Amino acid sequence: MSRRHLTLDLRSRAGLFAHLGAMERAGVPIDRALASLDLGARHEAAVKRLRQMVGGGRDLATSGQLSGVFTPFESGLVRAAQEAGALAHIYEQLAQRYDEQARYAAELKSRLLLPAGVLLLALAVKPLPALVGGSLSGAGYLAAVLMPILWLSALLFGVRALWRRWQQRRTDQPGPLDDLLLALPVLGSLRRRADVRNFCDSLGLLLEAGMPVLDALPRACSAVSGARLRRDFANLAPRVAAGQSLVRAFDGLSFHGKAMLIGVLNTGEATGRPGEALLRFARLQAQQLAASQQMLASWAPRLFYLVVAMWMAYGLLTGGGFFPALPAELAGR
């Protein structure tokens, strides 16, 4: 059984392909390019395996996938680019793609730091009235603060693991969870638009690398996380094989942004550059998606602050620390 390799993060992938693109433009042989590649100590073992495999005579695409440096999609993309003589262009496209994704992920993470801090503050403040009122010991106070943090951490870890497992599923039959996620307000729409963007971006890169469209379509479907949309896009290949143009094949589907894609792709097919047209559409979709996500990222913390403030106020008013209750004998009970 093969050992599972550590996956490169987005920032490391951007640095990897930017380095390979610069070396390819400069005409540096691949063995020398890999010798100067540095992705940090975390990924040094994977880079070492890659150097050894390339030094042993394997091609870069195969070595990259076997070493754990490339994903299967990237491996197919590099292999097609090798055959078409377009490696530098594909490296630069991948570097740009991962750099944009890494910048957005870092920005989203920074936006979530303050809400996380407010939540920790709320957890620390809520048991204070009971501690001040004497109904809670110091050890009890620590337990009241730490137990919710442990439960929330476990819940977050579990949700993250389930989300990754769901995204890695490759069944073509949509289940109840797929329909539930797509039906969520705002988030369902963002998920569909992201899948359309990822599919068109992947298909455009494959076509620009010189891969035939019938080979590129099934590979691009692997970039779609939702089973329902992946099943719809899988119908494109039979239509193209039957003699339809890519525009007509897309026109038979229903998805967000179809009208814009048909217009852009018509121009691309007329000029003989459908891959470039798909990449242009993917960039436009990415800009619109980023704007929607920015709006969501701006409003979600505000709603979160409001809920936490109400929860803190309720805990302070009902905890007995600031408005202690009368003893039972004085209250007539």
Would you place residue 3 in the very low, low, confident or very high pLDDT band (cuts 50, 70, 90)?
A: very low
pLDDT at 24: 92
What is d(CA 58, CA 49) in angstroms, rounded to the nearest whole number?
12
pTM above 0.75, yes or no: no
Residue range 28-39: mean pLDDT, rounded: 92
Would you place residue 241 in the very low, low, confident or very high pLDDT band (cuts 50, 70, 90)?
A: very high
Residue-wise pLDDT for 49-73, tens only, equals: 999 999 998 989 899 988 989 988 7
Q: Where are the domains of the chain?
A: 10-94
Percent above pLDDT 70 for the chain? 84
Average pLDDT value over all residues in the chain: 80
Q: Would you state the torsion angle of the CA atoms of residues 42, 43, 49, 50, taken in this order, to the nearest 10 degrees? A: -170
Would you place residue 141 in the very low, low, confident or very high pLDDT band (cuts 50, 70, 90)?
A: confident
Would you place residue 110 in the very low, low, confident or very high pLDDT band (cuts 50, 70, 90)?
A: confident
Residue-wise pLDDT for 183-202, tens only, equals: 666 677 777 888 888 889 88
What is d(CA 277, CA 265) in angstroms, rounded to the nearest whole number?
6
Are the CB atoms for 199 and 221 separated by under 8 Å? Answer: yes
pLDDT at 223 over 60: yes
Sign of CA dihedral 239, 245, 250, 252: negative
Going by the DSSP 8-state scheme, the letter that residue 172 receives in this structure is S
309: nearest Cα among 148, 127, 122: 122
Residue-wise pLDDT for 148-163, tens only, equals: 888 888 888 887 776 6
Would you place residue 1 in the very low, low, confident or very high pLDDT band (cuts 50, 70, 90)?
A: very low
Are the CB atoms for 219 and 73 separated by under 8 Å? Answer: yes
